[in-house]
Amino acid sequence: MKIIIGTRGSKLAMMQTNMVANGLREHGADVELNIVKTSGDIFLEKSLQEFGGKGAFTSEINEMIVRGDVDAAVHSLKDVPTLLPEGVIIAALLPRASRKDVLISDFKFKDLPTGAKIGTSSTRRKAQLLRIRPDLQIEDIRGNIHTRIRKLKDYDAIIMAKAGLNRLDIDIEVEELDFITSAGQGAVAVAAKKDSEASKIIGKLDHEATRIEVEIERSILGGLGGGCIVPMGTSAEIKDDVVTVDSEVLSLDGKRDIIVKREIALSDYKKGSLEIVEELKKMGGAELVKEAIRSV
Catalytic residues: 79
Name the DSSP letter for residue 222: H
Helix (H) or strand (E) run with residue 116 in it? none
| Closest to 182 (Cα-Cα) out of 95, 246, 263, 88 | 246
Q: How many CB atoms lie within 10 A of CB 225?
A: 17
Judge contact between 7 and 37, C-beta under 8 A.
no
Residue 157 three-state SS: strand
What are the DSSP E strand ranges found in 130-196? 137-139, 157-161, 175-177, 188-193
Calculate the CA 75 to chain-centre distance: 9
Non-local CB neighbours of 162 within 8 Å, separated by 6+ positions: 97, 98, 99, 100, 101, 102, 174, 176, 186
